[in-house]
Amino acid sequence: MFAIVNTPRNYPWGSTSEIARVRKVAPSGEPEAELWLGDHSGSPARVEATGESLVDWGERHADRYGGRPLPFLLKLLAAESPLSIQAHPTREQARAGWDRENSLGIALDSPQRNYRDPNHKPEVIIALTEFTALCGFRPTAERLRILHFLDKSGVDGTETFRQHSDRGLGVAVEWLLGRGAGVDEFLAALAELNARSGERDIDDAVRAAQSLAAQFPRDPGAAVSLLLNHVVLRPGEALFLPAGNIHAYLHGTGIEVMAASDNVLRGGLTTKHIDVSELLAVLDVDELDEPRLQPRVSGSVRMFDPGLDDFVVTDIAVNGRVEVSIAGPGIALVTDGELVVTADTELRAIQGDALFVEAGETITTVAGNGRIFLAHSPAPSSRQR
């Protein structure tokens, strides 16, 4: 077990203060969006003591690393403004898309590339602050109430929107992203709408859509948002975003853990490439009643288990001493306080510190006063004793 470090990635949607606040360092002045902690080639972490890439360290110590790249990536994420609406493929879809685009000779760095690796990318986001997001398609009853409100408010194009969504959620998405007849008029009327219904679900949906229409003029993603669940996570709550789930992070800071992939099919709120047909091919168009992922709780240990073979996330709040059994390889991030983590070795870690837990090592105790998140294998080894 040893300390690892990395440099935040500066995407335009990032916060100028939040990642620095969690890390307890001075802000860089740039919009810091994500701190990657793992061995993904896009931004591999480094061994703090030597500056060596975690990838290079793993190649030299295959037995202590687990003999393969990590199947997960932990990120500290801070969204000041919305990310694109997107979905991710299954493993089978990713492999087929990867092979297809390779055979066509599409460069890995091409803006037209959909598949940058042959892996799936399910995700879990756990809120550190209030965190707003779009996640999955709304239940029919909620969607119909919103459409009724828009119709009563005189929003041009609502009836056309209704007709397409009644034919299927995928049909509505295709109409919007393909800028079918009536889409531009509907977007313009939506941006100008200034009314409240007095019903929370409708108010949240319409306010979110109006805000997105203002931030992304003429972007059909603003209208797509009306079809999706608008979720407000309290600190400590989580979302699970499986393959095919349509989603977008809107605002907030959280811990994100995902399968190690960079495959994204976008569906609005972006100037980047949108492949409508490929998005529709991976999209799960079933309605989602409850997008939150509930943890298994044992004392001060909460495990978020999405049922994957890639990872689980364990959240430990410590005030004294907590006994656990968490086997490596794993990645940990301290988000509050000062802790002593004991495995084969003992390390003191303060807020903002990140650790790599080697394969064959098992964290047995965490002591002090603070909070630590760990991404690790889903093997049944993360229970409070």
Name the residues annotated as catalytic.
Answer: 266
Other beta carbons less than 10 A from residue 101's beta carbon = 18
- Torsion angle in degrees (nearest 10) through CA of 34, 360, 300, 314: 30
Residue whose pair of structure tokens reads 């294998």 in the numeric block: 377
φ, ψ of residue 321 in degrees (nearest 5): -145, 130
Q: Where are the alpha helices (DSSP H) in the chain?
A: 18-23, 54-60, 62-65, 91-103, 140-152, 158-167, 169-177, 183-192, 200-215, 221-224, 276-282
How many CA within 13 A on the CB side of residue 70?
A: 35
Do the beta carbons of residue 92 and residue 48 sit within 8 Å? no
Peptide bond into 235 cis (omega under 30): no
